[in-house]
Amino acid sequence: MHLASYKGPLLLLAWQIAPVSVGPDSAGRFQVAVGWGGGQFEDRSVDCNGDVVSARPVPFNSGGLQLDYWPSNQVRLSGFGGMLTEMRPFWVGDTVTENRVRSGWGGAQAALESRYVGLGLGVASVPFQSLTEGNAHGTHPSAYVRFGSRDHVHFRADFLHPTTALGATGDVLRFGVGFSQGLRRGKRGFFGFSFSPYTDESGHGGGLFGEFETPIAGRVDLSVGGSWRPSVEEFDGGIRAGLRYHFGR
């Protein structure tokens, strides 16, 4: 028989034993996340001795978009932005009313994500004033640092980090313990202490926060988070939820 007679069976055998991966990419280098969050802040009034004389709730909600691109396994580029709606107190003489204030926010950050150290720097434009000083924006650094395993447990700190729901998990200064923050897809989390974007006459604003993300279907991950701060009369904290989609390499 001619060699051509074996051409078909030989090709089939080669295809069966060749070490070629045909599975889908587990973590796309380009990721898009959307989210929404809300809650309220306790606005306190104090007397000359610093004692709280009254407290009122200040509701807020926020939603936005975050884009992450990994040109390599150790470099992350992030952009984020959205809208924040607040019901701030507005004084007319001795009478206080609620004033609905809508503000845009956004920023960008570049980070080096080596195996045991992560460093990031960028800029963020956010409402960064006290409740009594109006709706002024400011441009501030966006920073990130990590010490410990990128894909396992580590210490992490953020300042105005990329987010899809500003204010829901503190989101000004956060620090604590996290796990699995690299390109590899899977369950990841971050828990610790945070300062919210809000301050008042009493100067309070710090409390606990947590966030967790897990794959739920195909290339889609579910992300949830929340924060809590000590209060006198009104609940002080927020929650958020969102989805992340991983595009292929």
Token pair of 47, please? 């007397």
Sign of CA dihedral 170, 147, 188, 28: positive
Range 18-43 burial, b when 16+ CB lie within 10 A, else e = eeeeeeeeebbbebebbbbbbbbbbb
| Mean pLDDT per 10-residue interval, the chain, length 249 residues | 45 43 54 94 72 77 95 94 82 68 91 96 79 58 95 94 88 91 89 79 75 94 93 86 87
Q: What share of the chain is helix, strand, coil (3-state, %, to 5)?
A: 5, 60, 35
Measured in degrees and rounded to the nearest 5, phi and psi for residue 168 equal: -70, -35
Domains of the chain: 27-247 (2.40.128)
For residue 229, the model assigns a pLDDT of 86
Which residues make beta-bridge pairs with 102? 85
Residue type, 4: A
C-alpha R_g of the chain? 24
- CA 25-26-27 angle, 5° bins: 95
Kindly report whether the global pTM for this prediction surpasses the value 0.85.
no
For residue 2, the model assigns a pLDDT of 45
Cβ contact 192:177 at 8 Å: yes
23: which residues sit within 8 A by CB, 6+ positions away? none
Half-sphere exposure of 127 (CA within 13 A, CB side): 25
Measured in degrees and rounded to the nearest 5, phi and psi for residue 10 equal: -65, -40
For residue 201, the model assigns a pLDDT of 55
Spatial separation of the C-alpha atoms in residues 123 and 138, rounded to whole Å: 10
For residue 102, the model assigns a pLDDT of 85
Cβ contact 197:172 at 8 Å: yes
Q: 75-92 and 206-217 as β-strands: parallel, antiparallel, unpaired?
A: unpaired
CB atoms under 10 Å from CB of 223, counted, come to 21
Token pair of 195, please? 């300062």
3-state class (DSSP) for residue 14: helix
For residue 11, the model assigns a pLDDT of 44
For residue 142, the model assigns a pLDDT of 93
Spatial separation of the C-alpha atoms in residues 227 and 194, rounded to whole Å: 8
Spatial separation of the C-alpha atoms in residues 222 and 90, rounded to whole Å: 37
